[in-house]
């Protein structure tokens, strides 16, 4: 199976927080799931922890390499820029990753690398992997929280995305 590509300074184990969630689901393909990830305006329709999505510079409604966008999640107003975008292609995993940031002081600054990998597997299955690394004081607080809000939140995101794709498929 494929893995996430990490930019310098964001590799798991060298950041203040790391979350990894994965689902493997039968009966769906990357092509059927991709629109629900690649269209941020859809996120709040299936993931309650996402709100107020907007794009900058006349871009959108879909993510693309280099595009800047904004959304709110986990109580943070997140500015983000797509740093990796590989649309679905037969035999290759689809990928999207963004650098996100919130806050402006040493106490409240949060920097994240949130990456997604979607790949078709044998037997009509799809694998959806999302991993996020975080740096900053808020990341340290999130890492110490029990239950883990990042793991639980991303689990809800995955389950919601799969349910939305299955519903759209009929």
Mean pLDDT (whole number) for 141-158: 97
pLDDT at 29: 97
Please tell me the distance from the alpha carbon of residue 116 to that of residue 135, in angstroms, as a whole number. Answer: 18
Q: 165 pLDDT exceeds 90?
A: yes
Name the pLDDT band for 100 (thresholds 50, 70, 90).
very high
pLDDT at 119: 98
Name the pLDDT band for 75 (thresholds 50, 70, 90).
confident
Q: 99 pLDDT exceeds 90?
A: yes
Q: Among candidates 91, 88, 56, 57, which has minimal Cα distance to 71?
A: 56
pLDDT at 39: 98
Q: Please classify residue 38 by burial: count the beta carbons closer than 10 Å to its beta carbon, then call 0-12 exposed, 13-18 middle and 19+ buried.
A: buried
Q: Among candidates 166, 120, 150, 142, which has minimal Cα distance to 49?
A: 150
Mean pLDDT of all residues in the chain? 97
Structure tokens belonging to residue 149 = 């809000």
Mean pLDDT (whole number) for 70-95: 95
pLDDT at 134: 98
Please tell me the distance from the alpha carbon of residue 56 to that of residue 24, in angstroms, as a whole number. Answer: 33
pLDDT at 162: 98
Mean pLDDT (whole number) for 105-118: 97
pLDDT at 81: 98
Residue ranges covered by each domain of the chain:
17-169
Q: Among candidates 168, 95, 98, 159, which has minimal Cα distance to 133?
A: 98
Mean pLDDT (whole number) for 137-146: 97
Please tell me the distance from the alpha carbon of residue 1 to that of residue 129, in angstroms, as a whole number. Answer: 10
Mean pLDDT (whole number) for 80-98: 97
Phi, psi of 90 (to 5 degrees): -50, 130
CATH number of 17-169: 3.30.530.20
In contact, 138 and 104? CB cutoff 8 Å: no
pLDDT at 74: 87
């Amino acid at each position: 199976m494929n893995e996430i590509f990490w930019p310098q300074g964001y590799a798991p184990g060298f950041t203040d927080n790391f979350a990894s969630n994965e689902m493997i689901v039968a009966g769906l393909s990357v092509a059927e799931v991709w629109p629900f990830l690649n269209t941020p305006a859809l996120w709040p329709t299936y993931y309650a922890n996402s709100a107020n999505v907007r794009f900058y510079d006349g871009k959108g409604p879909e993510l693309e390499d280099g595009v800047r966008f904004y959304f709110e999640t986990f109580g943070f107003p997140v500015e983000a820029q797509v740093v990796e975008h590989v649309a679905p292609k037969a035999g290759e995993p689809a990928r999207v990753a963004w650098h996100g940031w919130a806050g402006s002081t040493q106490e409240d600054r949060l920097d994240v690398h949130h990456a997604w990998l979607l790949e078709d597997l044998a037997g009509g299955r799809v694998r959806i992997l999302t991993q996020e690394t975080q740096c900053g004081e808020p990341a340290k607080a999130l890492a110490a929280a029990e239950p883990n809000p990042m793991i639980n939140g991303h689990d809800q995101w995955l389950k919601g995305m799969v349910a939305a794709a299955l519903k759209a498929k009929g």
